[in-house]
Amino acid sequence: MMKIMIVGSGGREHALAWKAAQSELASEVLVAPGNPGTAREPRVRNLAVDAADIEGLVQAAQREQVALTIVGPEGPLVAGIVDRFTKAGLACLGPTAAAARLEGSKSYAKDFLVRHGIPTARHASFTDLDAALDYLRQHPGPQVVKADGLASGKGVVVADDETAASAAVRLMLGGAFGEAGRRIVIEERLSGPEASFIVLACGRDYLAFPTSEDHKRLNDGDQGPNTGGMGAFSPASAVDARLEALIRERIIEPTLQGLWDDGHDYRGFLYAGLMLTAEGPKVLEFNCRFGDPETQPIMMRLESDLIALAQAALAGDLTGLQLAIDPRPALCAILAAHGYPGTPREGDEITGLDRDEPEVKVFHAGTQEVCGRILSRGGRVLGITSRGSTLEEARTRVYRRMASLGLAGAHYRRDIGRRSQGGA
């Protein structure tokens, strides 16, 4: 039995902590800093240390004698939490800062993909405004403009024409995204359904989690701006066994081989965001962590012991391990605060939380507890997640539970689980 620490405070971390606490290997799960949802889980305790405070996390892990740490968000991974923990003799699952650049810099990721012959959209990178605008003039037609650095899923503009693309270029290179937007990537706009393919990597070896699909746009029918994700379901409707084999062969395996050839023994979660184009699957992005909200439905379907898996990957040996997955689909819809994804309003009371329903789990994300009341604290407030014998049954359960929750000014998408039309 050992103490586990989960780093982060969102819905993904609530789902990871909930799953970790079910492990027979875990005596207690600490979440730094966690949220009111994790605070209420049996065998889970919050630690008042921010996810960005790497030194504070090292000290907490030492003081609490944590045997294994799992990092939820990309920020600490890109900032080198794994390198720092390893130096202190602590076990921390995730890539080193050098390998986490796959997520931390889109231009680095694109160069990696091109260098290793992995299918992705054609692209060019820029720091100079005139050069970027010139490129747009020479490449008329739909383009996608991306801030190079971390932008919480919001640094991507899918532009219909040159006017929209150049406005995005001006905005980003003009400083709207700070340091993250000082360099931009402009890439050809692809179309097709999207899928998230997440693996637990261990050098060149890996175990694939079930496929999932995220709904990134704010509004129903995939309209409105990109967000961190308004809902997700698993398995992805557009990925059959043949396509999954193709994704493994053309994308996951060459990526792990490429990382290895570049000198990275990647041990942790690796997320490939894919567009399933007519020419085959192509990489839109890599994340060096689990997806949020994909984690919520995937953890609900995962029957294997998460801690045993993490331990094996950290030890460098996945031999003989397989993932046991509940065949039933699962779905998560996000309840977002008024104003999300712009400036979300905080401090509204959430009602209807004290109700348990079979096969439904309300994961907390942006919540806070003030004098015994649960209030909103961030953009994505809750992730209502359920499992069903069909996706439709899971949807019905999720939306029935959603209707019993109250949060002034909140909004949510009503079409999570309806297959995305893709691309637009």
205-208 and 223-226 beta bridge pairing: unpaired
Nearest C-alpha neighbor of 68 from the set 18, 26, 5: 5
Q: Does the footprint of ligand GLY cover residue 291 (CB under 6 A)?
A: yes
> Residue 292: which of ligand GLY, ligand AMP, none does it interact with, CB under 5 to 8 A by kind?
ligand GLY
* Local structure of 139: helix, strand or coil: coil
- Binding region for ligand AMP (CB under 6 A) out of 84-92, 182-190, 230-238, 322-330: 182-190
- Among 287, 296, 311, 386, indicate the residue that binds ligand GLY (CB under 6 A): 287
> Residue 158: which of ligand AMP, ligand GLY, none does it interact with, CB under 5 to 8 A by kind?
ligand AMP
Q: Distance of CA 215 to CAs 37, 234, 296, 330, Å? A: 23, 12, 14, 14
> Residue 291: which of ligand AMP, ligand GLY, none does it interact with, CB under 5 to 8 A by kind?
ligand GLY
Instruction: Compare residues 276 and 405 and give the one whose CB is closer to ligand AMP.
Output: 276
- Binding region for ligand GLY (CB under 6 A) out of 64-72, 124-132, 290-298, 304-312: 290-298
Q: Does the footprint of ligand AMP cover residue 377 (CB under 6 A)?
A: no
User: Using CB under 6 A, which residues numbered 207 to 246 contact ligand AMP?
Assistant: 216, 226
d(CA 251, CA 260): 14
Q: Does the footprint of ligand AMP cover residue 285 (CB under 6 A)?
A: yes
d(CA 107, CA 186): 10
Instruction: Compare residues 282 and 375 and give the one whose CB is closer to ligand GLY.
Output: 282
Per the CB < 8 A criterion, the answer to whether 64 and 5 are in contact is yes
The alpha carbon dihedral of 389, 392, 396, 399 has a sign of positive
* Local structure of 110: helix, strand or coil: helix
- Binding region for ligand AMP (CB under 6 A) out of 183-191, 246-254, 262-270, 341-349: 183-191
Nearest C-alpha neighbor of 237 from the set 193, 173, 189, 201: 193
Longest dimension (CA), the chain: 61
- Among 41, 213, 244, 294, indicate the residue that binds ligand GLY (CB under 6 A): 294
d(CA 255, CA 249): 10
In sequence order, the 6+-apart residues with CB closer than 8 A to the CB of 360 are: 384, 385, 386, 397, 398, 401
d(CA 409, CA 401): 18
- Binding region for ligand GLY (CB under 6 A) out of 60-68, 137-145, 274-282, 284-292: 284-292
Q: Does the footprint of ligand AMP cover residue 270 (CB under 6 A)?
A: no
Burial 393-424 (b: 16+ CB within 10 A, else e): bbbebbbebbeebebeebbbbebbbbebebbe
Q: Does the footprint of ligand AMP cover residue 274 (CB under 6 A)?
A: no
Q: Does the footprint of ligand GLY cover residue 292 (CB under 6 A)?
A: yes
* Local structure of 373: helix, strand or coil: strand
CB of 229 to ligand GLY, least distance (A): 3
> Residue 305: which of ligand GLY, ligand AMP, none does it interact with, CB under 5 to 8 A by kind?
none
* Local structure of 309: helix, strand or coil: helix
- Among 214, 222, 244, 305, indicate the residue that binds ligand GLY (CB under 6 A): 214
Instruction: Compare residues 232 and 307 and give the one whose CB is closer to ligand AMP.
Output: 232
Residues contributing to the site for ligand AMP (CB under 6 A): 121, 144, 146, 153, 156, 158, 187, 189-190, 194, 216, 226, 273, 284-285, 423
- Residues forming contacts to ligand GLY in the complex (CB under 6 A) are 153, 214, 229, 287, 291-292, 294
